Amino acid sequence: MKLYNSLTKKVEDFKTNEPGKVSMYTCGPTVYHFAHIGNLRSYICEDVLEKLLRFGGYDVKRVMNITDVGHLSSDADTGEDKMLKGARREHKTVMEIAKFYTDAFFSDCNKLNIKMPDVVEPATNCIPEFINMIEGLLEKGYAYKAGDNIYFDTSRLVNYYVFGNQNEDELMVGARDDVTEDTNKRNKNDFVLWFTRSKFEDQALKWDSPWGVGYPGWHIECSCISMKHLGEKLDLHCGGVDNMFPHHTNEIAQSESFIGHKWCNYWFHVHHLNDETGKMSKSKGEFLTVSLLEKKGYDPLAYRLFVLQSHYRKPLTFSFAILDQADATYKKLKSRIAPVEEEGAVDEGAVKEWHDKFLEAVGDDCNTAMGLTLLYDVLKSELNGATKRKVIEDYDYVLSLDLLKTEEEAGVDEELKKYVEAKIAERAEAKKAKDFEKADAIRDELAGKGIVIKDTREGAVWSRA
């Protein structure tokens, strides 16, 4: 496999630390609002990458954080905690907001056939790990205390701007006029590891620490959560391009200063989805969500197809006119696949040959558009029906467009999904009201229909028995 690496700015052969195994980390969502379809572009591309690695025979362990504390309105430690803003907007507690939008994120992912990472860990679960790393950085002289906050000292690094081509002034991200600059910082781009002297008196989540009661900065979570589950050598780290600076730059600074050696070998960055007025972002007020697409009658998988048609390293502009085209293409594609009958014996040799073709083409820096072209080639080929279906099934592991599902099956699934989700919500209400008898009755009712529900920290999840 070949992959563009933002660290070297080259397409490189992908080599892992351990043969056959990939440790992969993804920056998760900040759960103060719904994800917009731009965020989900990043998650779709990262999902494709994970599945492609598995398709190529790698054993992948993928970890993702959920940012539920410490991410301020600007990425540069100024402004207000986004979670607090969300809570105030909705007159709820920060934890209620976190739970609601974490569930909403996974429901969107589910609709887009984005697989759940192997480990999902909220930042608030890992405070001891953060404190441990910050203590280590202080001991080694990479961090300092000022105004009772703890900062990372970027001047200690010879090469802080690892992604290059960056100019300090341009990089004063989001230093907004309405926020006074933090005069405690020794260098412009020093960043907060731990906030103790809070500028925000009503900060909802606070923990005890060796430096007093406070809360972590945003960047520390990804370094610690990654190391907790994937160790000190990471193969692959993903996120959107806006994460390159300051977030990923800071993750590298603190991780490598702490462990004393190189941390992550490959950095995968997905370019932005723009609308006609520029980068799609939540701060613009109105933004596009998967639910909105559904309300307008689109199948979320038509949006997935729209994303797969373009390369992840190119900005992509969204408009409903272009989505209409993708929607039409999706319907046409499915209608071409549906009549392919399960006839003849599967030619395993041919399946392998087409598998290798896909790996070669799409494995060249995640060229999903080539994967779609190959899919049409399969349909046009001389293969018998059974073999065609087998190859399509194989490709659909990566593309995840439900290519072999008939309309009826998809319809039934949608209905089932709605029914189960309504029941889960009803059960959650019953539990909240301490009506455990009703909650158990709902669980049994679902079990009777072959649906198993499991309670997780992020809420109930369901699967077929």
Query: By CB under 6 A, is residue 310 in contact with ligand AMP?
Result: no
Q: Which does 222 bind (CB under 5 to 8 A by kind): Zn ion, ligand AMP, none?
A: Zn ion
- What CA–CA distance (Å, rounded) separates 145 from 223? 20
Q: Which residue has the tokens 């209409």?
A: 324
* Closer residue to Zn ion in complex, CB, 1/222: 222
For residues 221-260, which are near Zn ion according to CB under 5 A?
A: 222
Measured from the CB of residue 219, what is the shortest distance to Zn ion in angstroms?
A: 7
- What CA–CA distance (Å, rounded) separates 170 from 177? 15
Residues 234, 224 contacting (CB under 8 angstroms) = no
| Mask for 19-58, x = binds ligand AMP (CB under 6 A) | --------x-xx-------xx-xx----------------
* Closer residue to Zn ion in complex, CB, 67/384: 67
For residues 240-269, which are near ligand AMP according to CB under 6 A?
A: 240, 242-243
At position 73, the amino acid (one-letter code) is: S
Q: Which does 451 bind (CB under 5 to 8 A by kind): Zn ion, ligand AMP, none?
A: none
Query: By CB under 6 A, is residue 122 in contact with ligand AMP?
Result: no
**Position among 49, 134, 225, 280 found at the interface with ligand AMP (CB under 6 A):** 280
Helix (H) or strand (E) holding 241: none
CB atoms within 10 A of CB 360: 15
- Residue-by-residue DSSP string for 213-263: SBEE-STHHHHHHHHHHH-S-EEEEEEEGGGIIIIIHHHHHHHHHHHSS--
Query: By CB under 6 A, is residue 226 in contact with ligand AMP?
Result: no
Helix ranges (H only) for 56-93 are 82-90
Residues in contact with ligand AMP, total (CB under 6 A)?
Answer: 18
Measured from the CB of residue 242, what is the shortest distance to ligand AMP in angstroms?
A: 5
Residue of minimal CB distance from ligand AMP?
240
- What CA–CA distance (Å, rounded) separates 232 from 260? 10
Query: By CB under 6 A, is residue 272 in contact with ligand AMP?
Result: yes
* Region binding Zn ion by CB under 5 A among candidate stretches 26-34, 112-120, 129-137, 428-436: 26-34
Chain-centre distance of CA 122, in angstroms? 13
Query: By CB under 6 A, is residue 239 in contact with ligand AMP?
Result: yes
Q: Which does 39 bind (CB under 5 to 8 A by kind): ligand AMP, Zn ion, none?
A: ligand AMP
Residue 166, classed as helix, strand or coil, is: coil
Query: By CB under 6 A, is residue 288 in contact with ligand AMP?
Result: no
Cis amide prior to 246 (ω within 30 degrees): yes
Query: By CB under 5 A, is residue 27 in contact with Zn ion?
Result: yes
For residues 160-179, which are near ligand AMP according to CB under 6 A?
A: none
> What would the two tokens of residue 439 be?
């909650």
- Beta strand 264-270 with 316-317: parallel, antiparallel or unpaired? unpaired
Query: By CB under 6 A, is residue 279 in contact with ligand AMP?
Result: yes
Q: Which does 323 bind (CB under 5 to 8 A by kind): Zn ion, ligand AMP, none?
A: none
Measured from the CB of residue 272, what is the shortest distance to Zn ion in angstroms?
A: 17
- What CA–CA distance (Å, rounded) separates 405 from 398? 15
Residues 257, 142 contacting (CB under 8 angstroms) = yes
- What CA–CA distance (Å, rounded) separates 188 from 211? 23
- What CA–CA distance (Å, rounded) separates 31 from 100? 8
Query: By CB under 6 A, is residue 273 in contact with ligand AMP?
Result: yes
* Region binding ligand AMP by CB under 6 A among candidate stretches 88-96, 132-140, 239-247, 414-422: 239-247
| Mask for 195-224, x = binds Zn ion (CB under 5 A) | ---------------------------x--
Query: By CB under 5 A, is residue 64 in contact with Zn ion?
Result: no
Measured from the CB of residue 111, what is the shortest distance to ligand AMP in angstroms?
A: 17
Residues 309, 266 contacting (CB under 8 angstroms) = no
Q: Which does 166 bind (CB under 5 to 8 A by kind): Zn ion, ligand AMP, none?
A: none
Length of the chain: 465
* Residues paired with 88 in a beta bridge: none
Measured from the CB of residue 127, what is the shortest distance to ligand AMP in angstroms?
A: 19
CA nearest neighbour of 4 among 358, 266, 311, 310:
266
Measured from the CB of residue 6, what is the shortest distance to ligand AMP in angstroms?
A: 12
* Residues paired with 274 in a beta bridge: 279, 317
Residues 207, 158 contacting (CB under 8 angstroms) = no
Query: By CB under 6 A, is residue 6 in contact with ligand AMP?
Result: no
- What CA–CA distance (Å, rounded) separates 440 from 438? 5
- What CA–CA distance (Å, rounded) separates 9 from 108? 32
Positions in the binding site for ligand AMP (CB under 6 A): 27, 29-30, 38-39, 41-42, 67, 239-240, 242-243, 270, 272-273, 279-281
Positions in the binding site for Zn ion (CB under 5 A): 27, 222
